[in-house]
Structure 1
Amino acid sequence: MIEFKKVKEKKDALFEQRIGKVLPIYNAETGRLILPNKSFDNIINSARNSAPYLSMLIDKWPDVTVALGTKSPETVFSDLLKHIQPLSLFELNITLRHVKQKVHLLAALCDLAGVWDWTQVCQYLSDFADRAMQMLITAIAQDMEFDGTQDNPVPGLFVLALGKYGACELNYSSDIDLIVFYDPERVKLPNPARAERTLIRFVRKLMRGFDEVSEHGYVFRTDLRLRPDPRATTVAVSTRTAERYYESLGQNWERAAMIKARAVGGDRAVADTFIKDVLTPFIWRRSMDFHAIDDVHSIKRQIQGGANPEDIKAAGHDVKLGVGGIREIEFFVQVQQLILGGRNPQLRTRRTIEGLQVLAEGGFTDPESARILQDNYAVLRNAEHRIQMYADEQSHTWPKDDKQRKQLTALSGYEDVEKFEANLKRTFLQVHHIYRDLFAGAEDLSTKKGSLVFTGVEPEAITLQTFAEYGFERGSEIWQIMADWLGGRMPATRTERARELLTRLAPRIIEACGATGTPDIAFFSFAEFATKLNAGVTLFSLLLQQPTALSSLIDMLAMAPKLAQQLSARPNLIDALTSPEFFNAKMKITPNCYSALIPADTDFETTMNIVRRAVHEDQFMFTARLLRRTNPTGAGEILSNIAEAAITALLPIAAKEAERIYGPIKGDFAVLGLGKLGGRELSLQSDLDIMLIYEDGANSSDRDTFNKLTRRIITSLSSITAEGMLYEVDMALRPSGRAGPLAVSTSAFEKYYCEDAWTWEFMALSRSRVVAASSPEFTAKLENVTAKTLQIKNYGDDLAKDVLNMHQRLQNEKPGFGIWDIKNTAGGLRDIEFIAQFLILKHQPKIIPPATLDMLALVRDEKWLTGALVRTLLKTARFYHTLQQVLAITVSGNFDPDTAPISVKNLLVSATQEQSFETLEQNYIGVCAEISDAFRQIIR
């Protein structure tokens, strides 16, 4: 180990003169840079005392400081590069790591002494990276026995550097951003049949040569994620793949990144051709429409907003990404380059400082603003270097720790921490004020709580912090989804215009999700909706023009995630949210409301679509209002009226279609509704229990004709068209069930119930009503037939036994999935329905209401049960109906409280007016027990 007193003895006069200067310091009073004198010993001591990493390097590599005593820094650097020679890959990896540390020490000492300014430091670091790249490619190609030359070790393959490396502006501890391309027609490999696999191995070896950490250290951290579609492409990208990507999906932030692209290794001729033929037209566009220019602006506008810049402090501030940081200056240049560089080739410069210069010289930027940004860029890059010299970490944050603040201030040539940090803050503010005024009139794409940046390959800390401010817990996932959308990786954003619109919409989506109280649920529900859209321009335009529609949509999706799939199939329904009266106007569903929408002579397919569109709009309106008001009272009746109107509209059209195919249909016919349709208790998950009954007689068509008509009716209701499906249809409740004919004549209907029907079939018939018919006269006749049928049987003592047997059979065949199976659980809705139907059949009133609540009201009025017991049954039935309606809207499949979104639980609590979900669940379990007891008490 050489002692530093010996180092001092070897310094010559020239070096004493050069090294006796330190880093330029910004003087706040004069607004100029000053160069105070210090001795070399002071530089060494400052480095040793203020930066653990530099202290280690000084002790480890004394030959660097010795060399500086006899040679110029440039000569020392040149000598270091000469040590990097074509060696074995093993030896080269060791040499590169040693030389890297020596270059770091040399650059740091020359930087701290003011011998090299920041641009020279960056250039020398970049030159070292170039030499390392060249030697690694050569060594790996030889190791893998590629058929190349010394000058071109891997023909057809080349490496592009982007970012600071591409611009020869590498900072002290930069990652190096690289993309490895190959021309499949020109690449020469030992085994052409396995070209891609071989190239992937080559690239991985190359990256390990740079970033693998050993006892000798590392060279550079590498990042390959700026390649086209990094999650879908391999680490070696075909030039054909790249060309297709940049032509169709390349984003503006990628254009900005490519401004700095530079070939740093491999086949330079192929690289030059690729840059000329593919990248140049991608980056530099001679003509841009308003929307394209506006989208370029978005690169800058995404990082505005957040806290008041005047409130920032240097301690803890990110000098690169924070307000007034390095990135704002770089974006200031790059955004203008993208817009103006197509017609002004002089703007196509890689380096930020040069970009500011040509913007000023060309009259595109105020010269004084350009000068201020140039000066402050130097201040910020120097501060960044000091941060990274401290521990060789890729950090850009000025420390909060008092000791580190003092150490980095000393490395910057200051003694007074507060004064230095005040100057830093002044720099941040000057930069931000100029940056903020660029496109000052443009729409802000940040949010009230902070910046949202969806460019690049990973989320920035400021964006994740903004997500956290809005209550998101899965910010990284959300960022990736948004970045994928903006990268065209879903059908709705395949077009450039759609991506431009979504860029403007993105912050509003995040704010709207944050306002729901369950932001993660809201976003992922919106994501399910958005990813299934076939197109996005129309919808995104609507949501931008109608902010209330966006907030209403996201509110609904947060409360009812299952809506996502429905709405993505029919996004036109969202138009309704733009109407001011949407949530207030009364729904008017009449039996003929859909029939009125069908023009004369409309064909069967068109009619089905007209009715489907109208039904879906009304179901959506119902859903939206229920979610807004959380009051399901009357929900079953509204949904049943919608179904009845649909059947009323489709029945004559189905008959007309059947006649077109099979010939005339003679005689009346009707659709009898049973189950929830008959009882006007439909939910959005209900199917339709129906039966087709026709008038038989001498002048009527035969059964086969009416069977064919029935099939047309089923088709009209359940087939999937361009507008989707209306309802699942179940005809199992017809006489003889699935073994019997589809259509039933009135005489066969009466005969079956007189002679063959089971008690459970009378129970089902008690909930029947005529939904639609070919004539009012046949409606009246069929109502009379069903009423008379329910009076004909004398059940006697067998009634309770039959009901209990049917109850047990259903428990065996359709057991509930758990306590939250509201219909089938013990003491659930099925038990209440059985009680009501049992009492109706037992007492056989002349007029039987088909709805369960109306049956129970009749039980109360006739005093067939005690008042208290009937009140319990009525209250619980309403409670169950409320739960069913909410869950039908919000949940697909079974409801499990342990995994259900909190938004669904909150909606249940609101709808039932309980204090909490825990209270709701306790009450629910309690009433289930009460109903089970009542069932055993009544039916015995």
Structure 2
Amino acid sequence: MAAITSRTTSVPEATSRFLHELDELLGVPLATDSRFVDLLMATPDPHGAALGLLRVIEAAGEGSAALLDAVRTGSKSELAEDELNRPLLARLLAVVGTSEAMVDHLVRHPDSLPLLLVPDPFLLISTPAASAVSLRAEMLTVLGADPEDPAPRATVTGDDGVKALRRNYRDAVLRLVADDLSAESPDEIVDHVMAVLSDLAAAALDAALAIARAELDEAADIRLAVIALGKTGARELNYVSDVDVVFVLDSAESEEDRHLATDLAQRMRGILSDAGGEPALWEVDTALRPEGKAGALVRTLSEFEHYYADIAENWEFQALLKARPVAGDVAVGEAFSQSLLPLVWQAASRPGFIDGIRAMRRRVVDLIPAVEAPRQIKLGRGGLRDVEFSAQMLQLVHGRNDEDIRTSNTLVALGELGEHGYIGQQDASVFSAAYRFMRVVEHRVQIPRMMRNALIPDDEDKLRMLARSVFRSGSRTGDRLEEARRDYAKQVTRLHEQIFYRPILEAAVGIHGAVVDAQKRGSSLQAAADRLQAFGYVDPQGALSHIKALTTGMSRTAMVIKQVLPALLDWFSDGVEPDRALLAFRRLSESLSSSGWFLKMLRDSGLAAKSVAEVLSLSGYATELLLRQPAAVAWLDRYENLEARDLAILNAEVDGLLKRHGADAVTPIRETYSRELLRIALRDVLDVGDRAEIPSDLSDLMDLAVRGALQAVRTDLDGPETPDYEFGIIAMGRWGGREIGYFSDADAMFVYRPVSDNLDAEARGRLSKHVTKVALQLSSRLKASEGAQGVDLDADLRPEGKNGPLVRSFSSYQAYYAKWSQPWEAQALLRARPVAGDDELIADYLALIDPLRYPTEMPQKALTQVRTLKARMEDERLPRNADKRRHLKLGRGSLSDVEWTVQLLQLQHGHRLEGLRTTSTLPALEVAADDDLLPTEDAEQLAAAWQLATDVRSAVMLFRGRTAESLPADHTELEATARLLGYPAGAGHDLEDDYLRTTRHARSVMEHRFYDF
């Protein structure tokens, strides 16, 4: 059989077979008419259109004559040029060529075919009320119910009623699909389409209730209202979507009333959602009711009032924004609206309201499978949800004081927000255009199978058909669709990031030099302050002053900052202390205002700008370091700049400083230390690399600084008259264990030894004073200054503590350890690690202390002393009123518990197990588990507690810039700590639970392995 060729179009052979079959069925040459073929080939899927039309005609049988009558104006069998009703034929072909689901409906119900052959009035209805009333009346009439009755009851019930309702609903959808697909500019009518779908759903709910009333006769007098939420409530429903509702009972005089109302609601749901001879319409979703699925299906109005007044969470008020009575008792529905909807506009003042809503939005985005994210129309970045979210947040913040913007519908809200100046009218237009386009695309994705879907197809053929259904003219390719979608998503993302703050800039500085009426400007400033406060700024007036200072004037700096500040303000509020972040940004910008590279980076590098915001809003410690070294902001343009620098390179840098500066090298060495400390802190805050490596990186950096500074001090102080001597610095405590945090002092001991054994007493005395001066000068010069961070050397762990000499000779250490050494000192020496000085002295010192810290046998007396000392320390050193569960160092299951358990094993077994001869806790734990000194599970629990306590100490230090003794109890500090440890926003209490659980397990292990084993 030859393929058909029209004047303009060639039909594939497979499609032409369907057309010839149409010829035979219809008995007229419609199928081979070039005008018909051109219309067919213009459909999104010509092959599917031909097959769909064939299926429908076959099912219609003799009823197909109506098709011919409709598409021709004369009575001749031949179709003359002026006798073909092209618009009507195009309407029919558009439906069968796009929606297999509608073809299935017509095959099941061929007598519905004439509905397609008459132009439908749905989209010509001008008012929402008219649409709702018309659809409800039609739906109830089909069921034999009186639309004028306040509580209509169906006369067609049971399976017949369910089938009649569902068919009538789909007949209406059929007419709507035809109107929609035939529209020249579908984006211009998409709001009407959504409204009709919403009103149709509302009519179906009321019709289902009419059937349920008739079937449950004893429930006929129950006054039950159905409140729609979500898209149905906002009159922006899709073709296929769950319909979110809650059920409100006027009152319950008895439990029987409540049971009857519940039965009524459940039957109504089943009529619409259960499987049956006619397919279900959609899921009636009641999960948004108070307490969700665990809550009662039906509640009285007073119960709703109590719940929203005392119990409801913040997100539930956002959901309530779209609430609308749609079915059931009108008076009860109106009472619900009057009582509860005003609460929506008070909700933004609730503590943490905006942060909680935003955190929920982030969680939704995070849950999108990575493979789907680029194709998501609804939930992805720049998608429908971002438009809706932007509009809702602005409404919730400003709707408290402005009733004109209180609307549930997104497009209406955008218009009002633009009209009243809460966003620019151009921005509102961009949002609206993007929303309309994406809704059309979403509808076109759903129409083919009438399935819930919001994904752009990844199949090339399906993408092409989707594009042809979206665009009626011009290029109708998948490339055009994807380009348009990407462009809208980009615009929405940009506006979504800026929209909350752009009006704030205008209010603060009077953009474009506009002369603003005093009263209007005051109102504008107050609206800006309200918005800042809603998004977490504690001092909105102070924030406005910073914004004004940053953006006033026509300088290049002010112009660039005007461009980037809206996004920065948003990112600051994503942190924990946006006020502090904004102030820090002002200080940073002022110090770099003359640096062109800084302005260019802010403008052009989204990564750098966002990273700056994250650092300033989460870490007071890193912020202060950054303000001391503002040029380091340049690192944030590429995360590779934050990677740990090779130690050999840093050592070479320090050697170069020593060669150039000699005795004066301590200051540039300290600046190098401060610079690299900032690099590590930035890496930590931004979660770049492995956080577990940071303690060793910090320790190596401290080693480097102390080693170089010692050489510089000795260059300065050692003179010709100074007797030759060897000098060594022994790191102790966490520094010795290469486990320091930002909070750590540098615990150290100093040792020296004359090169000559023949020094007289006077020379020995002079040398003793000299090395003490070296140690004091070293400590003094390494301390922090205004320009750079420093190292605090602490020698309190030396023999005899503060009462002993600051620097001891090697022979003095020999004598002391031989006569006076206590078990606790041997335990302290487990972390002794030489970090600077002369190699021979260091080797001899290690040979001296190794027998002490790794004894061949640990006497029972020494074991008892260690255990007794640990118990005393818990009782005496824990601060008064400190919570033993939360103290990070001395608390139950915290650092001390783990470290003392490990150190006891080292004292007992270090002599025979070389792997235990390490100054670091975690490697020693690993060896203990490998050699069966501890069960692996016990070792893992101890390691987890030690690591978490260490991380928490560092995170708190990063946030507030000072050391932490305990797991934070303050909500803000706990939240910041959690964020810095990689927890999502709002998960502070998750960190708290994790810490308490982890340390509880570790304490149990410690009590068994340290005290009882």
**TM-score with structure 2 setting the length:** 0.45
**TM-score with structure 1 setting the length:** 0.48
RCO higher in structure (CA 8 A, sep ≥6)? 1
If each structure's helix is expressed as a fraction of its own residues, which one has the higher value? 2
